[in-house]
Amino acid sequence: MNYEAVIGLEVHVQLKTRSKMFCGCKNEYGASPNTHACPVCLGLPGSLPVPNEEAVRLTILTGMMLGCKIATVCKFDRKNYYYPDMPKNYQISQYDMPLCEGGAVVLDKFAFPKECQKDPEANAKKPIRLVRIHLEEDVAKSFHFEETSGIDFNRAGTPLMEIVSEADIASPAEAFAYLTTLRRILLYGNVSDADMEKGQMRCDVNISVRPVGQKEFGTKCELKNLNSISGVRRALEHEIQRQIEVVSKGGKIVQETRRWDDVAGQTFLMRVKEQAHDYRYFPDPDLLPVRTDSGLSDAAKASLPELPQQKKDRLIRELALSEYQAEVLSSDQPLCAYFEKASIATKNKAGVANFLINDFLATEPDTSSIAIPPEHFSSLADLVGEGKITSSQAKTVFAELVKTNEAPAAIVARLGLQQISDSSQLEKLCDDAIAANPRSVADYKAGKKNAINALKGNVMKATKGQANPAVVDEILAKKLAS
Amino acid sequence: MKKNSQRFPFETGSKKTLGSAALSGYHIHLVQTGKIDVAYVAQLCRLKLNQEEIDRFNTQLGDILKLVEQLQKIDVSGVPDVPPDFAISGNVLRKDEDRESFPVELALQNAPSKSNDLFIVPKIVE
Amino acid sequence: MSLAQETLSSLRKKLSAREIAPEEIVRDLLQRMEKTEPKIKGYLRWDAEDALRQAKEADISKPLGGVPIAIKDNINTRGDGCTCSSKILEGYVAPYDATVITKLREAGAILLGRTNLDEFAMGSSTENSAITTTRNPWDTERIPGGSSGGSAAVVAARSAIAALGSDTGGSIRQPAALCGIVGLKPTYGRVSRYGLIAFASSLDQIGPMTRTVEDAALILQTIAGPDPRENTSKNLPVPDYLSLMRQPLKGLRVGVPKEYFVSGMDREIEKAVRIAVDWYAKNGAEVIEVSLPNAEAAIAVYYIIATAEASANLARFDGVRYGRRAKDVSDAIDLHARTRAEGFGPEVKRRIILGTYVLSSGYYDAYYNRAQKVRRLMRQDFTEAFKKCDVLLTPTSPTPAFKVGEKTQDPVEMYLADIFTTSANLTEVCAISIPCGFSTAGLPIGLQLMGPHFEEEKLLRAAWNYEQAHEWHKQEPKL
């Protein structure tokens, strides 16, 4: 019997705001414990929340980028449960009137793991539908010691966006692609840095299996403690196996929460926190409802970036880049912005793309702050396109460019790298080569066309590689034909 | 005009003061309605009660529930879940600017147990 | 007459005229407190040295400069305790000022003394205080009302010039009525709740408790206003209450809701209030009968909504970040459950359980959701009534002060004390209680006026005119 997986992901994203969701404390990772705390985020008696406008705007923006319906009015609700990392023992969240509903994340080929990119699954452009996106506050952070735990409230109150997908994801690779694509979009909108290692993007998974063709869902398990996108993939691969083994032996899956241990490569049953999750949601009486149509939606729309897929399509369509080139550039927003500046003055846009992708990226630069003036790439591309230097010469120039930021023309002049295209000069050198290689000439005339390469090599050597190879080919061919 | 029913505490009883007379009459008219499972609810709200408290509260809360049962008889069919004037006024939101937080000593000032600038609790087992 | 017996406004006049200094007022009060507190126990604590220091530094050019005000012990005042009369907040030192405290300080007031309350403001007699039982100055066998019983008692006993209280279902007005003083609950959103330890977030308000209407207006003028720290505070300007208060009664329409006058209610209270109604009719006001059809539902709606909100608001008291913590706790659940069991009194526990229940899965629609809908019906009733009148007039309390221990056996009996006051909290309107007579046993009787949202000036005008034509406010308990 063949089984298929049914997977839904719940992703929590910390928003990139200056202050916390309901108070003015700084929203900053890595500060000394309890240095960004106040009565509100400590849950002191008498404190009251006031919502962060920017957090609402960023959530609307995310909803717009993902094609969601933005609610005209939304509100906050209290989600009641007890845990030591909860300052109030209720979390301010959104229950029945969230900011966004619907929408989808379309899986792009290049978002799949490299080894899967040729699979049909990766090329299906499958949309993973979203249920909703809502806004809430993060909990405090705990550190665990021998007999005690220590709690740091710096993180408490950080604005958190919860993105819930439908159970449309069918494989660990799709889950990987979903998270990669989602992350890229979040970076594009400057909504979050979404770094999973810093806890800025966190993922819980619901996974069940069922025989292929069955309509009903199997019993699902929730997986927690997934700390990286590839960790999610590994955990899913393991858990799917585990569930299939149980079910195929006639056993039943128990609905439970399991903790992924990346080191052990296994999921373990977690201790049950609340028997039944009766969160007793009710509208938070301390908070007024929020309208999105009185300026917030407009503000979000105004900052809508060109989305990764749109950008890719445009690069291919308008700048004649290849799919691969468009993918690499669009996956790195600052690099792409640099590319657009760097290619503006030249017709040879593909050439600029190649330099950036092949040569520049090999130097492992910080793409968010490139020191090289972008116009130099245009000049370099022009020099090659117009035949003034050879492509191998270009590599030499490029190496110098990275070192000195000098204009390419100046480098070429300095190093004397002018490509020789002048036919009169080359005619003479070709004659020399023919004279020096009678055997190759004879071979060529006898039908071995490749013999021309030896003659060509001769000319290149004589010109220290600066001869224009196309012109040399032409001249030699003409001379040998006669 | 809404008929003042027997439910309203003032209506019953003939003694001078409002309190107990009205109540005894009221109690007579009561019908056993909902009952709270105090032990279960106490778990939800993290209150460790002893058996005596559970029993006492079971009775008292039963009485209180009877008090509130009268709401079931009011016609709310015309009242929508979300009122039409919900969010009628403009938003009251906070600009995203960071303000000074407490110095760490003040944040921890009332902590029953603290160490290395952290609030200490018994070990949390996931 | 000692300074402790004077009103806030008369003291302000003397201070401004430099006839007296703030220290004199403080010393007088301290003397009075020493004398009366053994019998009254309205204060939980006070700091004489600190009060004298404040008095020396007081700026009498400010609106409340040099006047001492007592604060109910559920309002955060930096550096001081804020027990809510509960064991669970033993040792808690407030690290910040409530907005009203900031405003009082900016107005030059002296903060002297923290007053007793029912634990977490839950109660109508102050007997639920885990610390002490306050006595009614008019008859020390009797309760002062609640939950702001401490504030009411000390103002009535003249051991405070004025006090702040809080009102969720009548907790300012009912004790004011039972102690023969003035108590005002502002419109919801008029005075900031930031720093008030929350009981029911959609009902709570802080308000003045004073000997005269003018004193209440003076304090309201200072503490009212929008607060960026409270999302539900209303951004509306604060009118000049004092000048609006002094307008004559002529043309004021007084509505008397028939549902608040029913057979079986306390005869003496009914009589005193009816006499007051007649007085209004004879002195320039237009008196009409109105109807608030859903009035009966008030208590039921209140005890569902208030306890639901309270169950969430009190969840934060768990021994992790502040307050008392149970000893030798084994894990998080034990930490929470035992800390709370040991720290909360029975009434608080009852309300938390009830509140949790009405929000719980399967019951939310039948209780909480339904109660909110009935609440909206009540709001409609008031909106309709205020089309026909400017203020509503009712008794404040169904009974005068009852004896200590009389109603503690049956929670429901105690809840019925709020029967006339809860509707103002549920509909968010402003309301005031003023003295309007005494029972034959010599116990104060209070009259309640309710006014439209953010029109406290109508209340003050109606109340002040009545007060000035009577002598109730000049009577003092014999202590």
Q: How confident is the model at residue A272 (pLDDT cuts 50, 70, 90)?
A: low
Are B94 and A51 within 8 A, CB to CB?
yes
Does residue C35 lie within any of the structural domains? Answer: yes
Predicted confidence (pLDDT) per residue in A133-173, tens digit: 999 999 999 999 999 999 999 999 999 999 999 999 999 99
Please name the residue that has the structure tokens 């006499």: C275
Most confident of A109-113, B71-75, C210-214: C210-214
Q: Catalytic site residues of C?
A: 72, 147, 171
Predicted confidence (pLDDT) per residue in A282-334, tens digit: 999 999 999 999 899 999 999 999 888 888 899 899 888 888 889 888 888 88
**Is there a single domain that holds both residue C169 and residue C232?**
yes
> What is the arithmetic mean of pLDDT over A249-262?
89
What's the CA gap between A317 and A323, in Å, rounded?
Answer: 10
Residue C226 structure tokens = 């929008």
What's the CA gap between A62 and A275, in Å, rounded?
Answer: 34
Q: Which of chain C's residues have a Cβ under 8 Å away from the Cβ of A278?
A: 360-361
Helix (H) or strand (E) holding A248: helix A229-248
Q: Which of chain A's residues have a Cβ under 8 Å away from the Cβ of C89?
A: 45
Of C262, C337, C413, the CB nearest to B23: C413
The verdict on B48 touching A (C-beta cutoff 8 Å) is: no
What's the CA gap between C211 and C190, in Å, rounded?
Answer: 22
- Pick from C452, C137, C433: which is nearest to C273 by CA? C433
Does residue B126 lie within any of the structural domains? Answer: no
Predicted confidence (pLDDT) per residue in A71-107, tens digit: 999 999 999 999 999 999 999 999 999 999 999 999 9
Query: Which segment of A58-67, A213-222, B2-11 scores lowest on mean pLDDT?
Result: B2-11
- Pick from C363, A45, C360: which is nearest to B45 by CA? C360
Q: Which of chain C's residues have a Cβ under 8 Å away from the Cβ of A82?
A: 315, 318, 332-333, 336
Q: Which residue of B has its CA nearest to C319?
A: B112
Residue at which a domain ends, from C339, C355, C371: C371
A69: pLDDT strictly greater than 90: yes
Q: Which of chain A's residues have a Cβ under 8 Å away from the Cβ of C359?
A: 80, 280, 282
Q: Which residue of B has its CA nearest to A73?
A: B87
The answer to whether the beta carbons of residues A333 and A311 sit under 8 Å apart is no
Are A45 and C92 within 8 A, CB to CB?
yes
Are A90 and C312 within 8 A, CB to CB?
yes
Q: Within 10 Å of residue A405's Cβ, how many Cβ atoms?
A: 11
Q: How many distinct structural domains can be found in chain C?
A: 2
- Pick from A479, A457, A478, A453: which is nearest to A467 by CA? A457
The answer to whether the beta carbons of residues C458 and C391 sit under 8 Å apart is yes
Of A38, A55, A142, the CB nearest to B124: A142
Does residue C152 lie within any of the structural domains? Answer: yes
The full set of domain ranges for chain A reads 3-299, 306-415, 423-481
Asked if omega into C147 is within 30° of 0 (cis), the reply is yes
pLDDT of C395: 97
Does residue B30 lie within any of the structural domains? Answer: yes
Predicted confidence (pLDDT) per residue in C125-141, tens digit: 999 999 999 999 999 99
| Strands, sheet with C205-210, edge to edge from the N-terminal-most edge strand | C43-45, C110-115, C68-72, C163-167, C205-210, C182-185, C430-438, C444-451, C391-395, C253-257, C286-290
The answer to whether the beta carbons of residues C180 and C154 sit under 8 Å apart is no
Does residue C406 lie within any of the structural domains? Answer: no
Map A58-85 to HEC letters.
Answer: HHHHHHHHCCCEECCEECCEEEECCCCC
Q: How many distinct structural domains can be found in chain B?
A: 1
Does residue C269 lie within any of the structural domains? Answer: no
Q: In angstroms, how far is the first alpha carbon of chain B from the final one?
A: 59
Could you say which DSSP state residue A19 is in? B
Query: For chain B, which chains pass the contact test of at least 3 CB pairs under 8 Å?
Result: A, C
ipTM, two decimals, is: 0.96
* Candidates C356, C363, C439, C440, partner chain B, best to mutate (most B CBs within 10 A): C356
The answer to whether the beta carbons of residues C382 and C294 sit under 8 Å apart is no
Are B8 and C413 within 8 A, CB to CB?
no
Are B17 and C235 within 8 A, CB to CB?
no
Are B123 and A145 within 8 A, CB to CB?
yes
The verdict on B11 touching C (C-beta cutoff 8 Å) is: yes
Of B98, B103, B122, the CB nearest to A18: B98
Residue predicted with more confidence, C263 or A191? A191
Please name the residue that has the structure tokens 């709020």: C418
| CATH class of domain segment(s) A423-481 | mainly alpha
Residues 62-81 of B with CB under 8 A from C: 63-65, 67-72, 74, 76, 79, 81
Instruction: List the Cα angle A407/A413/A415 in 5-degree steps.
Output: 100
Q: Which of chain A's residues have a Cβ under 8 Å away from the Cβ of C317?
A: 45
Q: Which residue of C has its CA nearest to B60?
A: C411
**Is there a single domain that holds both residue C169 and residue C35?**
yes
Give the torsion sign (CA, B75, B80, B85, B90).
Answer: positive
Q: Which of chain A's residues have a Cβ under 8 Å away from the Cβ of B48?
A: none
A203: closest CA of chain C, how far (Å):
25
Whole domain around residue C124: which residue ranges?
3-250+459-474
Predicted confidence (pLDDT) per residue in A463-482, tens digit: 877 777 888 888 888 888 86
The answer to whether the beta carbons of residues C116 and C42 sit under 8 Å apart is yes
Are C331 and B122 within 8 A, CB to CB?
yes
Residue A421 structure tokens = 């295209």
Q: Which of chain B's residues have a Cβ under 8 Å away from the Cβ of A39?
A: 102
Q: Three-state SS for A115?
A: helix
* Candidates C258, C267, C321, C327, partner chain B, best to mutate (most B CBs within 10 A): C321
The answer to whether the beta carbons of residues C319 and B110 sit under 8 Å apart is no
pLDDT of C242: 97
The verdict on A271 touching B (C-beta cutoff 8 Å) is: yes
Q: Which of chain A's residues have a Cβ under 8 Å away from the Cβ of B85?
A: none
Q: Residues C410-438, buried b or exposed e (16+ Cβ, 10 A)?
A: ebbbbbbbbbbbbbbbbbbbbbbbbbbbb
DSSP A438-474: HHHHHHHHTT-GGGHHHHHHHHHHHTTT-B-HHHHHH
Of B91, B100, B118, the CB nearest to A291: B91
**Is there a single domain that holds both residue C145 and residue C200?**
yes
Q: Which residue of B has its CA nearest to C376?
A: B79
What's the CA gap between C330 and C28, in Å, rounded?
Answer: 52
Residuewise pLDDT in 10s, chain B (126 residues): 333 332 233 333 332 223 333 332 232 233 234 578 899 999 999 999 999 999 999 999 988 888 888 899 999 998 988 887 787 777 899 999 989 899 999 999 999 999 999 999 999 886
Are C318 and A89 within 8 A, CB to CB?
yes
Map C379-447 to HEC letters.
Answer: HHHHHHHHHHCCEEEEECCCCCCCECCCCCCCHHHHHHHHCCCHHHHHHCCEEEEEEEEECCCCCEEEE
- Integer CA distances (angstroms), C445 to A42, C269, C399, in order: 43, 6, 8
- Pick from C209, A470, C329, A207: which is nearest to B48 by CA? C329
- Which residues, in sequence order, are bridge partners of residue A276? none
Q: Three-state SS for C169?
A: coil
Question: What percentage of chain A has pLDDT greater than the value 90?
Answer: 56
Residues 22-51 of C with CB under 8 A from B: none
DSSP A333-344: HHHHHHHHHHTT
Are A48 and C194 within 8 A, CB to CB?
yes
What's the CA gap between C478 and C442, in Å, rounded?
Answer: 11
Of C92, C353, C377, the CB nearest to B47: C353
pLDDT of B34: 58
Say which amino acid occupies A307.
L
Predicted confidence (pLDDT) per residue in C173-192, tens digit: 999 999 999 999 999 999 99
The verdict on B39 touching C (C-beta cutoff 8 Å) is: no
pLDDT of A276: 53
- Integer CA distances (angstroms), A109 to A113, A118, A232, C312, in order: 9, 8, 18, 47
Are B9 and C416 within 8 A, CB to CB?
yes
Are A26 and B107 within 8 A, CB to CB?
no
A45: closest CA of chain C, how far (Å):
5
| CATH code: domain of residue C158 | 3.90.1300.10
**Is there a single domain that holds both residue C310 and residue C202?**
no
**Is there a single domain that holds both residue C209 and residue C308?**
no
Whole domain around residue B30: which residue ranges?
2-73
**DSSP H helical ranges for A4-141:** 53-65
Of A47, A83, A282, the CB nearest to C332: A83
Q: Which of chain A's residues have a Cβ under 8 Å away from the Cβ of C198?
A: 45-46
Are C419 and B9 within 8 A, CB to CB?
yes
What's the CA gap between A93 and A160, in Å, rounded?
Answer: 9
Question: What percentage of chain C has pLDDT greater than the value 70?
Answer: 100
Does residue B21 lie within any of the structural domains? Answer: yes
Are A48 and C368 within 8 A, CB to CB?
no
Q: Which of chain B's residues have a Cβ under 8 Å away from the Cβ of C407?
A: 19
